[in-house]
Amino acid sequence: MNKHVKYIRKQARKHTEWFSNCLPMIASENIISPAAREMMLSDFQDKYAEGPVGDRYYEGNKYVDNVERRVKKLARDIFGVDYADVRPLSGTNANQAVLMALGGPNKKITAPDVSDGAHISSARFGSVGFRGMEPKTYPFDVDEMNLDLEGTKKLIRDVEPDIALFGRSVFLFPPPLDELKDVFEEVGCKVWYDGAHVLGLIAAGKFQNPLEEGVDVMTGSTHKTLPGPQKGVVLSNPEDEEMEEKLSAGAFPGVLSNHHLHSVAALGVALAEQRKFGEKYAEQIVSNAKALGQALYERNIEVLCVDKGFTQSHTLAVDVEEHGGGETLAEKLEEANIIANKNLMPWDDVESAGEPSGLRFGVQALTRLGMKENEMDEVAELIKKVVVDDAKPSKVKEDVKTLREDFDKIHYCFDEGEKANKHWQIL
């Protein structure tokens, strides 16, 4: 075998073996189901399908069209919208499509700040800036880990934005959309909700549904709490045909050419699974997140928002400044096979991104592996050993491996009970 191929296969196998012994706790990741993964390996991967369904620029797309039609319908039904675009390649790409449609160098936008947990695509140095816009950021209430309502009202009135953007990557609590409704109307702005992190929770009715609260458009990644392939969606109830056309053209030809048809098919499988299993899954995610928050708190780890039940989503934010800082601890946890990430806390400035005060934990993948509240207590104990007790990560790793032995199968999907890493046995 070619030495490069051999090398790459070996890395993939090693990664898989490693992750089958890890606690995957990065809040933006998940584990795709076997049925969805099968579609990622399908021959749809080899095709191009530019242009509208049923009227493509290239031939050979009759089955591709059937799939895309079905996946769009599933998305429309699940989110209760008239318009669902399943072409964006990722959450960032979905955001770019909306910026292409509604933004521009002469437009004004308000958004959450990156140090308050917003995603880089909403920053001046990310996609918003690339569209020639300078975001004005909302004031933040650190105790509430949410927007400062009165300050946000004032900012929107002062700026009179064309677009008011909401949604974050450290997304513990829903923004006060309802309370801001009058201000949106007063100013006449479009309201855009980036639901990348909480898309699966929204689909299941377990988090604020911004579409019911009147936002104009929602974007999202389909591989976080919605456990599908790496992809993105744009969802809307467009006010008229012009808005629908703008959104569609924002995606193609705006910011993408081909839209990776194997992942459209995989997304369809994930959406079908979402419809059948999503509610139970989302319920368990939120319950696990709260249980982990409580278990960490009881072990003297400073989880934010104790008084608010820690979170309403899959995510916890933890201040670890006194234990050595986010980067140091994320690396130690990795040595112990606990995979999480360092994170800015609202009081850090963006320049301290190298060694921020915090860690972010997500429980959606652990939940997918079948863990429940009792296991959250065990997970908290393992985290505490590394963070508070300064135990040797190599020792903790052995306990992590033992815990994972009983949780190596994928749940809340059609092939429930299949091993999480079975498909890699060919390597």
Ligand X SMILES: Cc1ncc(COP(=O)(O)O)c(C=O)c1O
Note whether 174 binds ligand X by CB under 6 A. Answer: no
- Contacting residue, 99, 163, 191, 196, with ligand X by CB under 6 A: 196
Joined together, the tokens standing for residue 227 give: 């456990």
User: At residue 175, what is the residue type?
Assistant: P
Report in angstroms the alpha-carbon separations of 92 from 35, 120, 121, 283, 401: 25, 9, 6, 27, 34
Opening angle at CA 399, ends 397 and 405, nearest 5: 105
Closest CA to 394 of 314, 332, 352, 346: 332
> Least distance (Å) from ligand X to the CB of residue 112?
9
Cross-strand partners of 316: 361
Opening angle at CA 221, ends 220 and 226, nearest 5: 100
Residues in region 271-290 near ligand X by CB under 6 A: none
Q: What is the CA radius of gyration of the chain?
A: 21
> Least distance (Å) from ligand X to the CB of residue 259?
14
Note whether 341 binds ligand X by CB under 6 A. Answer: no
> Least distance (Å) from ligand X to the CB of residue 165?
10
Q: Which is nearer to ligand X, 121 or 294 (CB)?
A: 121
Separation CA 58–CA 310 (nearest Å) = 51
Separation CA 35–CA 51 (nearest Å) = 27
Note whether 232 binds ligand X by CB under 6 A. Answer: yes
User: At residue 283, what is the residue type?
Assistant: E
Binding mask 14-53 for ligand X (x = CB under 6 A): --------------x-------------------------
Q: Which is nearer to ligand X, 93 or 294 (CB)?
A: 93
Candidates 9-17, 42-50, 189-197, 317-325: pick the segment binding ligand X (CB under 6 A).
189-197
Joined together, the tokens standing for residue 150 give: 């009165």
Closest residue by beta carbon to ligand X: 91
Q: Which is nearer to ligand X, 78 or 97 (CB)?
A: 97
> Least distance (Å) from ligand X to the CB of residue 204?
18
Separation CA 72–CA 82 (nearest Å) = 10
Joined together, the tokens standing for residue 373 give: 């509240």
Separation CA 77–CA 71 (nearest Å) = 10
> Least distance (Å) from ligand X to the CB of residue 13?
25
Backbone angles phi, psi at 257, to 5 degrees: -110, -90
- Contacting residue, 194, 273, 348, 418, with ligand X by CB under 6 A: 194
Q: Which is nearer to ligand X, 229 or 293 (CB)?
A: 229
Q: Which is nearer to ligand X, 232 or 370 (CB)?
A: 232
Backbone angles phi, psi at 173, to 5 degrees: -135, 150
Separation CA 393–CA 391 (nearest Å) = 6
DSSP at 261: H
> Least distance (Å) from ligand X to the CB of residue 46?
23
For 259, other C-beta atoms within 10 Å of its C-beta total 21
Note whether 167 binds ligand X by CB under 6 A. Answer: yes
Q: Which is nearer to ligand X, 271 or 336 (CB)?
A: 271
Joined together, the tokens standing for residue 367 give: 């939940």
Residue with tokens 């319908």, as numbered in its chain: 73
> Least distance (Å) from ligand X to the CB of residue 194?
5
Q: Which is nearer to ligand X, 286 or 396 (CB)?
A: 286
> Least distance (Å) from ligand X to the CB of residue 344?
13
Q: What's the residue count for the chain?
A: 427
Side-chain half-sphere CA neighbours of 327 within 13 A: 5
Candidates 66-74, 193-201, 408-416, 417-425: pick the segment binding ligand X (CB under 6 A).
193-201
Number of residues that bind ligand X (CB under 6 A): 15
Candidates 55-63, 153-161, 191-199, 287-295: pick the segment binding ligand X (CB under 6 A).
191-199
Residues in region 90-129 near ligand X by CB under 6 A: 90-92, 95, 119, 121
Q: Which is nearer to ligand X, 33 or 169 (CB)?
A: 169
Candidates 40-48, 190-198, 337-345, 405-413: pick the segment binding ligand X (CB under 6 A).
190-198
Binding site for ligand X (CB under 6 A): 28, 90-92, 95, 119, 121, 167-169, 194, 196-197, 221, 232
